[in-house]
Structure 1
Amino acid sequence: MRALSSYAAVIALGLAALGIAALKLLGGADWTPLALFAAALIVTELVEDADRIRTREPSAFESFRVTSALHIAAAVVLGPWSAALLAGASALGVRRLRDRSLGTVSFEAATVTLATLAGGYAFLAVGGHTGKIELLADLGPVAAVALVYLTIRTALLQVVAGREAFQPDVAAGAGEAALGASVALFATGHPWNLVALVPVALVVHVAYTRLARVRRETLQALETFANIVDERDPSTYQHSIRVARSVDRLARSLGLPFSDIDRLRWAARLHDLGKVAVDASLLRKEGRLDGAEWAAMRRHPRLSARLMQRFEFAAGQARAVEFHHERYDGQGYYGIEGSALPLASHFLIVADSFDAMTTDRPFRPALSREEALAEIERNSGTQFHPTVARAFVALERGHDAAALLTSQELAELRDAAIPYRLPVIPGARDLRDRPELIAIGGVTLALVAGAFGQLEVVYAGAMVGLVGLLLYVKRRTRVARLTQAMLDAVGGTQNREASFDGLTSVLERACGATWSALIDWEEDGLGGTVSRERGTDGPHLAVLTSWLVREAESGEKLLSAGGFELQHEGVVVALPLRRENSALVGFLVLAVPRRLPGQVELALAEAADELALALADRPQSRAIASQTAPQTVHAAN
């Protein structure tokens, strides 16, 4: 109810602002820039909106819009009220023509109206003047209009309409602000200068459209792949579709943000991709599986995760898909404790098990819906997450799942839905590790200042550039010394274990590593064994192996993960070990208290080939000891 009232309030405020803006326009206006901006907005709305159909992709908003740049430019050139009128009226008229619901269109039009109005007043408040813009002097006002516009638009669309956490797309916002400032700069010279920017806007739009189309086609290909996997076994026909539908209903009933619902739905849709590597005869076998057959079956969750990890928009749910045959008590395929599983895994586990129990399988007949729900209740807290299981059972019995949970339980579920990969925000540490950026920045500042005759700034920029250059030389010297120390540690012996001990001693001094291990990788790329280790403060082997499976084929010379992902304090770093034929045969893994110093990362990357030859062993075929057969056969398929 509160969400609906907020939704209605935004529409009311937006429509009121449109009415006031229309009345103000009757008092007189410069019709040439007004007409040109109106034409530009109508055309861009027509072109862009066709590609904004919601495809329910497993990703957050990626909202670069040329229309947003025009709204920002209009606020600068025309003033708050005229710009707000054009933004709202063009959105309302064009989007309604596409037969979209009046409520949705009204909210979107109100959003851009209020955002443009607020942005225009922010421009004036910081010292800007309507219809005038000068570089450097007006950087503050231009930044203000862009920041206020983008913040309000994002907050209303994500938080009010989408029930999302406030997660602005910084890259898209910066692009919109830059394009908007360019349009404003051209238009203030003469309104007809806008025509010169038409090709630029078209190129930007075409590039984004092609990117969106490629991603959409890739998703459709993956979905077709999932259908083919389901069709290999008549008993699992449309299995992933039913699981996705169940997960979607459960997530909606609990009030999760729409973007999280979409990610969960796609994780469910693609969770069995790895079964493409399982012999179809095993899927259709009527009797129980023997040890070798279970080992083959247990490979499919990790293979599914490996496939999904290769696609950026699906990689966020690869971890959840890999664990969809785990148990809350830690007795699943890979022995991962329930507390270490992402929330999406618990949704997949209960929905996948329910569908498996209620469909006929070669080795047993289907249970009735009520029998399956009773089985879920009986295994709540052992096989299934107790809160998720209770909500699922309630929903399937026709009750309001959210009403049966406490506010604390709902809050825990919604908080747990936050993606475990948080955006990395550059900071001072990044500048310290990349002194060449300081040097380049200083030189650039000096050149720009020289163009405007600011000699003091030229000197300051030159000094910054010189400091950056000196820091770069110092850093390269330290990298060279550390690289040589590591090569010396492994070059004086043909003994693999001695090379490992010598190398880890060097790294312990360089970065304070508290644990290190040499892992031999299996030929199928789905597991490995620890052949040697130093220290005892390492991550759980099953969790570590899971991470390595997903990241092994990333192409990175050095893999790194935070403690949250691996349920371990500090940072874990892995150096892939490859032989001359590029075959991956192992990893050197380190646990360190904090992110590796930049010189250590560079030294490891530069010495990677030599270290791999010294430490790599032949590929191993032994399975990880922690992989045990599941205790509930009915939930396995």
Structure 2
Amino acid sequence: MRALSSHAAVIALGFAALGVAALKLLGGADWTPLALFAAALIVTELVEDADRIRTREPSDFEPFRVASALHIAAAIVLGPWSAALLAGGSAFGVRRLRDRSLGTVSFEAATVTLGTLAGGYAFLAAGGHTGSIELLGDLGPVAAVAVVYLTIRTTLLQVVAAREAFQPDFAAGAGEAALGAAIALFATGHAWNLVALVPVALVVHVAYTRLARVRRETLHALETFANIVDERDPSTYQHSIRVARSVDRLARSLGLPFSDIDRLRWAARLHDLGKVAVDASLLRKEGRLDGAEWAAMRRHPRLSARLMQRFEFAAGQARAVEFHHERYDGQGYYGIEGSALPLASHFLIVADSFDAMTTERPFRPALSREEALAEIERNSGTQFHPTVARAFVALERGYDAAALLTADELAQLRDAAIPYRLPVIPGARDVRDRPELIAIAGVTLALVAAAFGQLELVYAGAAVGLVGLLLYVRRRSGVARLTQTMLDAVGRAQTREDSFDELTSVLERACGATWSGLIDWEEDGLGGTVSRERGTDGPHLAVLTSWLVREAESGETLLSAGGFELQHDGVVVALPLRRENSALVGFLVLAVPRRLPGQVELALAEAADELAPALAGRPESGAAALRIAGTIVQAAN
């Protein structure tokens, strides 16, 4: 009800503004720029609205919108009211022609109307003048109109309409603002200049559209792959589709943000990709699996995560998919405690288990729906997350899941995915660790100042550039010294163990490492063991192994993860150890209180090829590992 009232208020306010703008236009206007902007917006809306198909992709990809740039430019050239009328009128008229929902189109039109109107007044309040723009003097007013417009648009479309956290796309927004300023510069020179610039803007839009299409086609290819996996076993035909539907319904009933619902749905759709490496005879076997067969089956969640990690738009779901056979009490495939599992995993666990129980398998008959729901209730708090299990059972029995949970439980579920949505914003630490950026910024400032004849700024830019250069030379010198110290340390050692001890002693002094571990990696890339360690404050081995499996093939010279992902205070860093043939045979892992100093990161990256031969062991083959795992399982049974 509150969401509906918010929508209604936005629509009412937006259309009231459109009415006032229309009345003001009757009082007189310069029709040439008005007509050209109207034509440009209609063409742009036609082109862009054709690409507004909701694909439900599990990504944060935000398209670049030429229409937004035109709204900003119109606010500068035409003034707040005329620009608002064109923005809202073109959005409503064109989008409604495509038979889209009246309520949705009205809300979107009201959003751009209010954003453009407020942006136009922000331009005037910051010292700008309608129909005039000059650089550099009007940079402040241009920034004001862009910030206000984009903030209102993002707030209304993301927070009010989509129930998302406020998460603007800074790159797309900056591009739209810059293009809007360029259009305004052209249009204030002569209104017909706008005609020459719009095709260029549409070319940019086409490039973004093609990028989105490639992402969409790749995702559909993965979906086809998932269908093929389901079809290998007649008893699990369309299993991933049913699990995805269950997860989607549960997430919607709990009022999760739409982007999180999409991520959950695709995680469910792709959760069994790893079964492609499991022999089909095992999937259809009627009897009990023996030790080696069970060990092979247990590999598939980790392999699914490894496959998904290779795709940027699906990588965010890899961790949840890897843990879809874990238990809340930590007795699952990989022994991960329930508190260390992401919320998405708990959704997958209950939906996957329910579909498995209600589907006939070669080794057992199917349970009825009510029997399966009773089993979920019985195992709530041991196998299943209590809150998620209670909501799932209520929904399957036809009740309102959200109504049966307390406000605190709902808030906990809705907030659980926020850490995955928060953007990473560069800070002062990033600038300090890359002094070359300071040097480049100083030189750039000096050159721009010289172009405008600002001698004081030329000197200031040159000074900043010189400071950055000196810091860069100092940093490179420190990296070279640390690199040589590490190489000397392993060079003195006689054994692999001595090399590890000598090297970690150096790193403890350089970065304050509280724990160091040497991981021998299995040939199948799905696990490893700690062969040597220093300190006691290391991450849980099962969680560490899961992270290494997902990131091993990322191509990064140095892997790093925060405490949230590994359930460990501080930061964990891993240096992949490879042989001359590029085969991954292990990792050097460090637990540090905070992010590694920049020179330590560089030194480790530069010395990696020389350190690997001294630290790399000879792990057992994947077949041997499976035989050992099979023996352990048989002994347990």
Place the TM-score, normalised by the shorter chain, in its bin.
over 0.9
C-alpha deviation, 1:618, in angstroms: 2.2
Verify the 8 A CA contact 2:63 2:208 in the aligned structure 1: no
Residues 189, 227 of structure 1: alpha-carbon distance in 2 compared, 3 angstrom cutoff: same
Residues 625, 405 of structure 1: alpha-carbon distance in 2 compared, 3 angstrom cutoff: farther
C-alpha deviation, 1:628, in angstroms: 12
Verify the 8 A CA contact 1:528 1:623 in the aligned structure 2: no
Render the CA deviation track for 1:520-560: whole Å, top value 9, x for unaligned: 10001000000100000000000000000000000000000
Verify the 8 A CA contact 1:528 1:622 in the aligned structure 2: no
Q: Which runs of 4+ in 1 moved over 4 A?
A: 622-637
C-alpha deviation, 1:632, in angstroms: 18
The more displaced of 418-427 and 62-71 is 418-427
Residues 21, 631 of structure 1: alpha-carbon distance in 2 compared, 3 angstrom cutoff: farther
Structure 2: runs of 5+ lacking an equivalent: none
Verify the 8 A CA contact 1:356 1:634 in the aligned structure 2: no
C-alpha deviation, 1:624, in angstroms: 12
Separation in structure 1 between the aligned mates of residue 162 and residue 123 of structure 2, nearest angstrom: 28
Separation in structure 1 between the aligned mates of residue 277 and residue 208 of structure 2, nearest angstrom: 35
Separation in structure 1 between the aligned mates of residue 176 and residue 422 of structure 2, nearest angstrom: 23
C-alpha deviation, 1:493, in angstroms: 3.0
Separation in structure 2 between the aligned mates of residue 618 and residue 68 of structure 1, nearest angstrom: 58
Verify the 8 A CA contact 1:335 1:626 in the aligned structure 2: no
C-alpha deviation, 1:625, in angstroms: 10
Verify the 8 A CA contact 1:14 1:111 in the aligned structure 2: yes
Verify the 8 A CA contact 1:333 1:627 in the aligned structure 2: no
Separation in structure 1 between the aligned mates of residue 20 and residue 262 of structure 2, nearest angstrom: 39
Verify the 8 A CA contact 2:285 2:362 in the aligned structure 1: yes
Residues 628, 77 of structure 1: alpha-carbon distance in 2 compared, 3 angstrom cutoff: farther
Verify the 8 A CA contact 1:316 1:421 in the aligned structure 2: no
Separation in structure 1 between the aligned mates of residue 74 and residue 346 of structure 2, nearest angstrom: 48
Separation in structure 1 between the aligned mates of residue 632 and residue 497 of structure 2, nearest angstrom: 41
Verify the 8 A CA contact 1:527 1:623 in the aligned structure 2: no
C-alpha deviation, 1:157, in angstroms: 0.3
Separation in structure 1 between the aligned mates of residue 631 and residue 34 of structure 2, nearest angstrom: 71
The more displaced of 52-61 and 309-318 is 52-61
Residues 627, 550 of structure 1: alpha-carbon distance in 2 compared, 3 angstrom cutoff: farther
C-alpha deviation, 1:636, in angstroms: 18
Separation in structure 2 between the aligned mates of residue 449 and residue 75 of structure 1, nearest angstrom: 29
Separation in structure 1 between the aligned mates of residue 169 and residue 4 of structure 2, nearest angstrom: 25
Separation in structure 2 between the aligned mates of residue 305 and residue 61 of structure 1, nearest angstrom: 21
C-alpha deviation, 1:94, in angstroms: 0.6
Render the CA deviation track for 1:456-486: whole Å, top value 9, x for unaligned: 1111001000000000000000000000001
The more displaced of 202-211 and 557-566 is 202-211
Verify the 8 A CA contact 1:301 1:325 in the aligned structure 2: yes
Residues 554, 18 of structure 1: alpha-carbon distance in 2 compared, 3 angstrom cutoff: same
Verify the 8 A CA contact 1:333 1:629 in the aligned structure 2: no
C-alpha deviation, 1:623, in angstroms: 9.7
The more displaced of 310-319 and 418-427 is 418-427
Verify the 8 A CA contact 1:273 1:303 in the aligned structure 2: yes
Residues 629, 45 of structure 1: alpha-carbon distance in 2 compared, 3 angstrom cutoff: farther
C-alpha deviation, 1:409, in angstroms: 0.4
Verify the 8 A CA contact 1:332 1:631 in the aligned structure 2: no
* SS class of match (1:209): helix
Residues 35, 558 of structure 1: alpha-carbon distance in 2 compared, 3 angstrom cutoff: same
C-alpha deviation, 1:198, in angstroms: 2.7
Is residue 34 of structure 2 the alignment partner of residue 34 of structure 1? Answer: yes
Verify the 8 A CA contact 1:353 1:635 in the aligned structure 2: no
Render the CA deviation track for 1:486-515: whole Å, top value 9, x for unaligned: 110112234111111111011000000000
Matches within 5 A, 1:293-308: 293-308=293-308
C-alpha deviation, 1:627, in angstroms: 13
Residues 58, 322 of structure 1: alpha-carbon distance in 2 compared, 3 angstrom cutoff: same
Render the CA deviation track for 1:253-296: whole Å, top value 9, x for unaligned: 00000010000000000000000000000000011111111100
Separation in structure 2 between the aligned mates of residue 424 and residue 308 of structure 1, nearest angstrom: 21
* SS class of match (1:420): helix
C-alpha deviation, 1:192, in angstroms: 1.2
* SS class of match (2:141): helix
Is residue 336 of structure 2 the alignment partner of residue 336 of structure 1? Answer: yes
Separation in structure 2 between the aligned mates of residue 216 and residue 225 of structure 1, nearest angstrom: 14
Residues 313, 521 of structure 1: alpha-carbon distance in 2 compared, 3 angstrom cutoff: same
Separation in structure 1 between the aligned mates of residue 394 and residue 619 of structure 2, nearest angstrom: 49
Is residue 416 of structure 2 the alignment partner of residue 419 of structure 1? Answer: no
Residues 161, 556 of structure 1: alpha-carbon distance in 2 compared, 3 angstrom cutoff: same
* SS class of match (1:530): strand
Verify the 8 A CA contact 2:290 2:630 in the aligned structure 1: no
Render the CA deviation track for 1:126-164: whole Å, top value 9, x for unaligned: 111001111111111100000000000000001111011
The more displaced of 189-198 and 559-568 is 189-198
The more displaced of 179-188 and 239-248 is 179-188
Verify the 8 A CA contact 1:76 1:123 in the aligned structure 2: yes
Residues 226, 633 of structure 1: alpha-carbon distance in 2 compared, 3 angstrom cutoff: farther
C-alpha deviation, 1:60, in angstroms: 2.8
Separation in structure 1 between the aligned mates of residue 82 and residue 630 of structure 2, nearest angstrom: 66
C-alpha deviation, 1:206, in angstroms: 1.4
Verify the 8 A CA contact 1:332 1:629 in the aligned structure 2: no
Verify the 8 A CA contact 1:63 1:169 in the aligned structure 2: no
Verify the 8 A CA contact 1:551 1:559 in the aligned structure 2: yes
Render the CA deviation track for 1:169-226: whole Å, top value 9, x for unaligned: 1111111111111111111111111123134212211110110100010111011000
* SS class of match (1:626): helix
Verify the 8 A CA contact 2:21 2:81 in the aligned structure 1: yes
Total equivalences in the alignment: 637
* SS class of match (2:24): helix
Verify the 8 A CA contact 1:326 1:333 in the aligned structure 2: yes
The more displaced of 355-364 and 410-419 is 410-419
Residues 28, 633 of structure 1: alpha-carbon distance in 2 compared, 3 angstrom cutoff: farther
Separation in structure 2 between the aligned mates of residue 632 and residue 322 of structure 1, nearest angstrom: 22
Render the CA deviation track for 1:553-582: whole Å, top value 9, x for unaligned: 000000000000000000000000000000
Residues 269, 630 of structure 1: alpha-carbon distance in 2 compared, 3 angstrom cutoff: farther
TM-score, L = length of structure 2? 0.97
Verify the 8 A CA contact 2:523 2:622 in the aligned structure 1: no
Verify the 8 A CA contact 1:76 1:132 in the aligned structure 2: yes
The more displaced of 41-50 and 624-633 is 624-633
Render the CA deviation track for 1:313-347: whole Å, top value 9, x for unaligned: 11111000000000000000000000000000000
Verify the 8 A CA contact 2:551 2:559 in the aligned structure 1: yes
* SS class of match (1:519): strand
Verify the 8 A CA contact 2:126 2:144 in the aligned structure 1: yes
The more displaced of 508-517 and 614-623 is 614-623
Verify the 8 A CA contact 1:332 1:630 in the aligned structure 2: no
C-alpha deviation, 1:63, in angstroms: 3.3
Verify the 8 A CA contact 2:295 2:626 in the aligned structure 1: no
Residues 630, 194 of structure 1: alpha-carbon distance in 2 compared, 3 angstrom cutoff: farther
Render the CA deviation track for 1:563-620: whole Å, top value 9, x for unaligned: 0000000000000000000000000000000000000000011111001121112233
Identity over aligned pairs, percent: 91
C-alpha deviation, 1:424, in angstroms: 1.6
Render the CA deviation track for 1:96-122: whole Å, top value 9, x for unaligned: 111101111111000000000000000
Verify the 8 A CA contact 1:352 1:635 in the aligned structure 2: no
* SS class of match (1:560): strand
CA RMSD in angstroms comes to 2.5
Residues 633, 254 of structure 1: alpha-carbon distance in 2 compared, 3 angstrom cutoff: farther
Verify the 8 A CA contact 2:518 2:530 in the aligned structure 1: yes
Verify the 8 A CA contact 1:334 1:627 in the aligned structure 2: no
C-alpha deviation, 1:629, in angstroms: 9.6
* SS class of match (1:585): strand
Verify the 8 A CA contact 1:528 1:624 in the aligned structure 2: no
* SS class of match (2:154): helix
TM-score, L = length of structure 1? 0.97
Render the CA deviation track for 1:38-58: whole Å, top value 9, x for unaligned: 111111111111111110111
C-alpha deviation, 1:427, in angstroms: 1.1
Residues 187, 636 of structure 1: alpha-carbon distance in 2 compared, 3 angstrom cutoff: farther
Verify the 8 A CA contact 2:291 2:630 in the aligned structure 1: no
Separation in structure 1 between the aligned mates of residue 625 and residue 339 of structure 2, nearest angstrom: 21
Separation in structure 2 between the aligned mates of residue 142 and residue 107 of structure 1, nearest angstrom: 26
Render the CA deviation track for 1:377-406: whole Å, top value 9, x for unaligned: 000000000000000000000000000000
C-alpha deviation, 1:61, in angstroms: 5.1
